[in-house]
Amino acid sequence: MKTLDGKVAIVTGAGRGLGRSEALELARLGARVVVSDLPVASGAGTEPSGADQVAEEIRALGGEALVHYGDVSDWDSAEVLIARTVEELGGLDILVNNAGISRPAMSFNMTEQDWDDVVRVHLKGTFAPTRFAAAYWREQAKAGSRLGGATVVNTSSPNGLNGGTPGHVNYSVAKTGINTITTALARELAPYGVRCNAVAPLAYTSMTESLWGTEILPSTRRPELEPANVAAVVGWLASPDSDPVTAKVLAVVGSKCVLWNSWAPVEEIHTDGAWTFDQIAESAPALFKQVDAGLPLEL
Ligand SMILES: NC(=O)c1ccc[n+]([C@@H]2O[C@H](COP(=O)([O-])OP(=O)(O)OC[C@H]3O[C@@H](n4cnc5c(N)ncnc54)[C@H](O)[C@@H]3O)[C@@H](O)[C@H]2O)c1
């Protein structure tokens, strides 16, 4: 008996890269998998999406796969993704929101399109499928036909944890937002037995091609920086074996897996009644007793 036997999983952006590995891992663990990606003709990036090939790989390993083409950031398309999964595979247990794009540019060069596309694909593209999955799980819980056990795994990034990377403001903001989607939905869906976590990966994929062989993705460490490394953690978070873990963001960087926490208060100062300019100017140094008042040393 495998840990995901009888479960149905969706992986978005599963035509290549991390999503492909995650779909294969969930299938290896026993799930029937919906391999979802953009239609081939509009595949984002430099190569066509290969959802059909990934589904074939799953079948060749003895698994069951369904291909679904659609844009995760399109509300109607997200609804169809969930409805079709439930209709054709008889339910939904695991949603891995992985689809993503990168449009790097310094802020003074960034186009409106670069900003809108990155924020849309990551934020709306994570929220929209989850919104319809959540409606399905709530309905099931109310009908008494499910006693929890559903899981969502979102995809953040080290750029969404480190306070933002120059040249990636759009992407850093979007990924930071995914951290908050993860914790907010974990709280909201807990009464329905749904757990929601995220990974912040680093891996050799077409998205990171410009970094291959650099100190960020050293070729000597390539085996541990392959997508399968991240997929193993996603498979665990998606499975009952990780219960009760929820509302967590795990950075998976090679052989290191780091639990991150959200913004936390550092220092507190007070005034009598409302602040005035002079009072804050006089008291502010006390806020920076423990931290450098300027840029953090490491970004
Ligand atoms: N590779 C890394 O080191 C790294 C680091 C941090 C975060 N991530 C995140 O991991 C996820 C996967 O990235 P990857 O490296 O495998 O990239 P990738 O470019 O190889 O794969 C991304 C997949 O998402 C699909 N996609 C893009 N927009 C979509 C949309 N609107 N609807 C449906 N599918 C869409 C693409 O067609 C592609 O198949 C992304 O969210 C990315 O931001 C990757």
Pick the residue whose CA is nearest to atom 32 on ligand 1: 71
Same structural domain for residues 172 and 297? Answer: no
Same structural domain for residues 156 and 188? Answer: yes
Element (H, E) at 165: none
Same structural domain for residues 129 and 188? Answer: yes
- For residue 227, what are the CA distances in angstroms to 5, 69, 86, 95, 230? 23, 22, 28, 18, 5
Q: Is 85 touching ligand 1 by the criterion CB < 6 Å?
A: no
Element (H, E) at 20: helix 17-28
pLDDT for the residue numbered 39? 87
**CATH code, 175:** 3.40.50.720
pTM: 0.95
- Domain for residue 298, yes or no? yes
- Domain for residue 3, yes or no? no
Q: Is 11 touching ligand 1 by the criterion CB < 6 Å?
A: no
pLDDT for the residue numbered 44? 55
- Domain for residue 1, yes or no? no
Q: Is 123 touching ligand 1 by the criterion CB < 6 Å?
A: no
Spatial separation of the C-alpha atoms in residues 226 and 205, rounded to whole Å: 8
- Domain for residue 199, yes or no? yes
pLDDT for the residue numbered 299? 41
- Domain for residue 165, yes or no? yes
Same structural domain for residues 218 and 273? Answer: no
Low-confidence ranges of the chain (pLDDT < 70): 41-49, 146-147, 296-299
pLDDT for the residue numbered 198? 98
Same structural domain for residues 159 and 31? Answer: yes
Cite the beta strand spans of 48-93 per DSSP E.
65-69
Separation of CA 117 and ligand 1 centre (Å): 13
Same structural domain for residues 31 and 166? Answer: yes
Dihedral angle, C-alpha 112, 113, 115, 117, nearest 10 °: 160
Same structural domain for residues 128 and 158? Answer: yes
pLDDT for the residue numbered 15? 96
- Domain for residue 44, yes or no? yes
What range defines the domain where residue 256 resides? 8-260
Per-residue pLDDT of 189-201, as tens digits, reads 999 999 999 999 9
Number of domains in the chain: 2
Same structural domain for residues 54 and 154? Answer: yes
Same structural domain for residues 150 and 275? Answer: no
Same structural domain for residues 291 and 181? Answer: no
- Domain for residue 204, yes or no? yes
pLDDT for the residue numbered 68? 96
Same structural domain for residues 189 and 299? Answer: no
- Domain for residue 176, yes or no? yes
Helices (H) then strands (E): counts for the chain: 8, 8
Separation of CA 202 and ligand 1 centre (Å): 11
Same structural domain for residues 63 and 198? Answer: yes
